[in-house]
Every structure is written in C-alpha cells, then in structure tokens.
Structure 1
C-alpha cells in the first residue's frame, strides 16, 4: 500500500516565515549521511569530499579579493551545507524521516524540515 499526500493545487504561498523541505534518497545514501560521508546541500546529498573541494576552490578563487564569506554564501549557498548532526539541530524547525520500500523493493528514505523560522 502506498500513502500519497495530496498538496493544494494552484496555490501560491506567500508566508515567507513558513519553512518546509523534502529530500528523497536511497537508504544507502541516508546511511552515508548519518556516518558523515555525505552532507546535505540545500535539498541534495553530496559527498563530503565534494563539499571540501568546493570550499578549497572558493579559497583559491577568492583569496586576496574583496569577496567576503557573505558574498560567497549568497552565490554558492554554502550556508546550506549541513552534516547529519547540523540537520538534526535545525534550531526551531522540526525534522522528519520516513523509511519506505518501493514496489520494486528499493529502500528509500524521505526526510526534511518544517515549521516556523521567523
């Protein structure tokens, strides 16, 4: 049995204080996230090595320029990179995680945050 949550159609939300995200991944990727091998970047899991490479590239590119970390965050969204622990400690937002098995037997994990962040 598959549970489907229907969202409202043709609705434009303007409440910028309401936060919600959803990420779907394979169970094996979730396990790597928990172990620290993957980090969450926005709503996507990327290898920790890739996040480190991006940070190193930033340092090489912007070293000695007028570009500060805030400018960098605005363009590259590094403030959105989170480890599993940082994702769990998401200030006032609630976290959720659900395990599912697809009809083809694939184990997936659906996770995210929701709540009021204003």
Structure 2
C-alpha cells in the first residue's frame, strides 16, 4: 500500500514538474504513471550505489551534490522510459528539484501514516 501511495505522489510530482519546466515531456498519462514506477525502482536500486560512490564529493559540497544525483536518476528514468523526454541537464536539474519539493511536502502531510 505504501508503494502505491508513494508512486502516486511521484506521479503527481512528475505532472507538476512537466507543467512548470518546459523541457520535461510525457507522451501520455499512462507514460507518466509508468515513469513514476520506474523512477521508484531506479531510486531503490541505483541511487544507493551512486550515493555511496559519490560520498566524498557530497561531503565536500555539503550535500549539494545530492541534487546532481537526483537529476541523474531523473535522466536515467527518461532513458529507460520511451514516452518521457528531457531536453537538457538543466531541465533535469530543475525538474529534479521540483519533484523533490513536491514529494517532500506530500510526505510531510502524509507522515508516518503510510507503511513503507
């Protein structure tokens, strides 16, 4: 149940980011939902490895490199999802920030009521 709610939150965050950032595009609502699922899997599998490998630079930048990792995860999702397009790294970076903010706000509202 928690996975479905978090996927729905990510899908809403993708929708908001696609409307705010001109270089992020989804071909359909179905593509957006599937992209949210793929994004969750990419974050669960690849992000921990990438975060561990980039730990020294993350410490040197006082955690700001995490934003770059978020953009890379979004770009990887776009590579894996045929109906999703990101036009530039700047677009990925800005969209990753918006997705992070929306997801953070939604998780604050939901809190611990959702089982992980």
TM-score (norm 2): 0.29
More strand by share: 1
Structure 1 length normalisation: TM-score?
0.28
